[in-house]
Chains A and B, each alone.
Chain A
Amino acid sequence: MKRIHVKANGRDFEHEVEPRTLLVHYLRETLNLTGTMVGCNTSNCGACTILLDGESVKSCTMFAVQADGREITTVQGLAENGNWHPMQTAFHEQHGLQCGYCTPGMIMASISLLEENPDPSEEEIRDGLEGNYCRCTGYENIIKAVQQAAGQTS
């Protein structure tokens, strides 16, 4: 067992974890942050995407111990004082979701994308989200959601 300290969604945590514990399982089972989903177990689908020190990562590709001393944001930490992040509003308004299973990861990846490129073209949005699967929407309404969050449409 190894002791780790993380800051997750603004709160400090300290836990003993088995070194082989994946970060996504630590988030879901130890911190009860079940908004971060597991879709494939093989790092393909991106449903588990979170921000680690502000950059998007698939939390099933990391061990919890690798997050020691770092800052984590999950979809459940986006709203501030009850106000949604503009990306959450955009996904809701543009119907950028159906079953919603990909949505937490898709929103986190989209936020990271706009962080790097605040005014992306449609192609750049596609390139930025290629690591996140959605089985329901055909992606078109997801692209519109990112465009709305980027202020490109109303």
Chain B
Amino acid sequence: MTTTPTRTRPSASRTRGGIGESVGRPDGVPKVKGEFEYSSDLHVEGMLWGATLRSPHPHANIRSIYTSDAEAMAGVFAVLTHEDVPGRKVYGMEIPDQPVLAWEKVRYQGEAVALVAADHPETARLALGKIRVDYEVLEPVTDAETAMSEDAPKLHLSGNELRRVDVRHGDPEAAAEVVVEGEYEVGMQDQAFLGPESGLAIPDGEGGVDLYISTQWLHVDQDQVAESLDLPPEMVRLTLSGVGGAFGGREDLSMQIHACMLALHTSRPVKMVYGREESFHGHVHRHPAKMRYEHGATRDGKLTYVKANLIFDGGAYASSSNAVCLNAATFACGPYDVPNARIESHMLYTNNPPCGAMRGFGAVQVCFAHEAQMDKLAEKLGMDPVDLRLKNAIEPGMKFPFGQEVPYPAPVREILGRVREIPMPDEQEAMGRDLRELPGGVSNTTHGEGVRRGVGYAVGFKNIGFSAGFDDYSTARISLSIEDGEPVVRVYTAAAEVGQGLVMVQAQIARTELGVENVVVEAADTRTGSAGSTSASRQSYVTGAAVKEACEKVRERIFELVRDEFGESDELAIEDGNIISDGREIAPLMEILDDGEISEIVEFHHRATHPLDENGQGDAHFQFAFAAHRAVVEVDVELGLVRVVEIATTQDVGKVINPKALEGQIEGGIAQGLGLALMEEIRIQDGEIQNASFTDYLIPTILDMPPVKMEILELADPEAPYGLKGVGEPPTIASTPAIVAALRNATAMELGRIPVRPEHIIGIPKKPPDELPQPESSRYSGIGRLEDRRET
């Protein structure tokens, strides 16, 4: 990683393990020892196992549910249906439209219908088979465009339109000298976190329940569980257990209410663990999209207008579709100066699996389209695609098409310019290579005759945190005390560590602010106020700011004590557990604190945002993050197989908190972008998932993922803690279109749909074959062998 330190504020302290260092993750210790307790590892004596009966049909009326045979089985303790939901029968993060357990109707294949608690998981599974549900099967609505039509069956009382956002900017009749049109399609991606859903609910004997759960947002779960159990929130206590990845897929509920219902009904602890197949049915996915675009520009390459019609398949229930629809509308034009725009973003209900949050939500889909359009325009104008982007790059002080002023920093031009300057990987002769290094690896049946190389660029951006008027905040309590003769800082939040490294970031901030190396980040639970969601790349900023401000308050109280005791008037600091005044140590913290504890709590709210008006105008977002990618690919044009040779990226992160963890976030995000470009799609036929397993739903392996070259910019956001920006999502956004651009460069194919499959590559080319780029053996420098490729 190359870091370009520009315009960043210095950190305050020299205490070891503060911000800017590649300190290890505190949870890395139990994780490498195999002692980290994921929710699937939890066990208490006497616990029962819960299981879920799911609808086999994507659309059906429920005539009746017979549970008697299941209830009569030995070892079965409870069989529950919608009649047993004590409180609100529906849930949902934004719109409560999803039944806890279906009644009257099921709207997608996999919808939960009944629950069982039994003394063994196999007993529970067998009992599910004894529940008889009499379905009247209905024709499913499986296409979002069909769902829009007047005569489509209404899937919800409110109709099939879940949300619509229009953005109207400038002159709708603007005419252009050059016009390009395109149609683009994004398949349904799965988060495919490695640890399937699981949780353990323990009744407290007094009518309340404790839930140990893998989730992204404890408090939104708590509110929804309490509502459906008809209990006050304080009787539903949630503790975060080990989370095996999330990526948006755990932002909505899976078995939270179910496990609690079974536990309260049986008065026994109940554990639920999904297998991989059930996991595919048990969480929301990335929204599939169909997007029609028209770009107008002047002959010298200045954008005149963008028109886009975006249609998203929200599936059967709302989940976070609202936010996806809004994000897509606001980012539809890309990070460009667009004087006139007309964007329609439609979100539809269908009988497909519900879709919701996934890394980059809303921005990922439109970035694939707007970047393809920019390449198409560059080709039509005979311009270099990066030069076209540079010419139209948005800058601070300009206005986004949704009316918000572009805040500093917005280094679109800088990241594009820099990513182009990163040295290209050497070209290698394909013929005679080790098979494993050809596109497709050992499944390549040729000698590499048809291998062509392509290069593609893309740039993308996204809002960090929750937008459009949502009161987005986080709560942190910091306690400083002396334990065993040493100062110790304890950090209490409800922020969900899902693998991204937030526990480490919190500890680094506390060390930096309090000058104490020994920092303990306590387990997240609902005893501390909400930290908001671990999503939208927001936790380092929002919970980071809450931790920082609480530390500052604790520090100020220490300084007051020092001033009282020593009468110091110079500026004070704490380093390595000592009070520093004017460069000299005046007292150890121990002496100041004595046996006392100093504790402060802060609720940090970021700058208010506002909903869009009827023309899609408003200050909807509070921070934007940008990343650019360059992909180099090799394509076997005879077989349609692809090898990504390298990804280069430049990203502005404001401030690097932990360099090695940042690298991991960027590389991991790129891997998911690569997956969407080339292989990841939940295939749905007539509303039914065809590939609910890792045998058939492919995620990138270590052989699919290429080396990444990265350059990091640190342009401080003046409002953010340390100037930092959220880093999790930008790597996923533009990596996908960069890879597809490289494929187009190698094949001259249109490739308007992702994931790009081999049959798309070997299909009928739009250009005549004699215009296709031909591999010239003279271009290659020699026969590449395994040892030649080793990185130095």
Chain A residues within CB distance 8 Å of chain B? 28, 32-42, 44-45, 47, 74-76, 78-79, 84, 88-89, 91-95, 97-104, 107, 121-127, 129-143
Contacts and interface: CB of A to CB of B under 8 A. Distances in A.
Given A41-B275, A92-B28, A133-B194, A76 B35 contact: yes
Contact of A47 (B194, B500, B661): B194
Nearest to A89: B32
A140 B667 contact: yes
Nearest to A32: B43
B192 interface: yes
Interface in B110-130: none
A135 B667 contact: no
A118 B499 CA distance: 30
A138 B660 CA distance: 13
A103 B32 contact: yes
Contacts of A138: 664, 666-671, 705, 708
Nearest to A43: B695
B769 to A, nearest CB: 34
Contacts of A39: 194-196, 244, 276, 694
B194 A135 contact: yes
B770 interface: no
B298 to A, nearest CB: 40
Contacts of A141: 660, 663-664, 667
Interface centre among A39, A76, A84, A143 (most CB of B within 10 A): A39
A95 B22 contact: yes
10 contacts: A39-B244, A39-B694, A95-B25, A97-B32, A98-B501, A98-B668, A99-B193, A101-B193, A126-B702, A131-B701
Contact of A135 (B436, B699, B787): B699
Given A100-B499, A101-B244, A126-B702, A92 B29 contact: yes
Nearest to A88: B32
A110 to B, nearest CB: 11
Contacts of A125: 702
What 7 pairs between A and B have smallest CB-CB spacing? Answer: A35-B34, A99-B499, A138-B667, A100-B31, A101-B244, A75-B34, A98-B499
A140 B663 contact: yes
A23 B41 CA distance: 16
Nearest to B661: A95
A129 to B, nearest CB: 5
Given A136-B664, A139-B671, A140-B667, A45 B194 contact: yes
A141 B663 CA distance: 8
Given A99-B244, A103-B31, A139-B671, A134 B703 contact: no
B32 A130 contact: no
B693 A40 contact: yes
A114 to B, nearest CB: 15
Nearest to A93: B24
A42 B29 CA distance: 28
Contact of B694 (A42, A78, A94): A42
Interface in B1-38: 22, 24-25, 27-29, 31-38
A39 B694 CA distance: 9
A25 to B, nearest CB: 10
Interface in B258-301: 275-277
A77 B245 CA distance: 25
Nearest to A28: B41
Contacts of A104: 34
B423 to A, nearest CB: 18
A103 B275 CA distance: 19
A41 B36 CA distance: 21
A84 B32 contact: yes
Nearest to B27: A100
B33 A98 contact: no
Given A100-B32, A140-B664, 17 more contacts: A32-B43, A34-B37, A38-B196, A41-B693, A44-B695, A88-B32, A91-B28, A94-B660, A98-B500, A99-B498, A122-B789, A123-B786, A135-B194, A137-B668, A138-B670, A139-B667, A141-B663
A111 B615 CA distance: 59
B565 interface: no
Interface of B: 22, 24-25, 27-29, 31-38, 40-41, 43, 192-196, 242-247, 275-277, 436-437, 498-501, 660-661, 663-672, 693-695, 699, 701-703, 705, 707-708, 786-787, 789-791
Contact of B276 (A28, A41, A89, A101): A41
B35 A35 contact: yes
Nearest to B247: A135
Contacts of A44: 693-695
B703 A84 contact: no
A133 B38 CA distance: 18
B755 to A, nearest CB: 16
Given A45-B694, A122-B790, A138-B664, A92 B501 contact: no
Contacts of A92: 24-25, 28-29, 31-32
Contacts of B672: 135
Nearest to A126: B702
B645 to A, nearest CB: 13
A65 B698 CA distance: 31
A123 B27 CA distance: 29
Contacts of B668: 98, 135-138
Given A126-B702, A136-B245, A76 B194 contact: no
B663 A123 contact: no
A129 B31 CA distance: 19
Contacts of A124: 786
B699 A133 contact: yes
Nearest to A79: B33
Nearest to B246: A99
A130 B703 contact: yes
B1 to A, nearest CB: 10
A51 to B, nearest CB: 13
Given A37-B38, A37-B195, A140-B707, A99 B667 contact: no
A104 to B, nearest CB: 5
A107 B32 contact: yes
Contacts of B275: 41
A99 B663 contact: no
A129 B701 CA distance: 9
B244 to A, nearest CB: 4
A101 B195 contact: yes
Contacts of B277: 41
A42 B667 contact: no
Contact of A99 (B35, B194, B695): B194
A98 B663 CA distance: 11
A48 to B, nearest CB: 11
Interface centre among A35, A76, A89, A135 (most CB of B within 10 A): A135
Contacts of B25: 92, 95, 97
A140 B277 CA distance: 28
Contact of B499 (A132, A136, A142): A136
Nearest to A45: B694
A99 B243 contact: yes
Nearest to B28: A92
A39 to B, nearest CB: 5
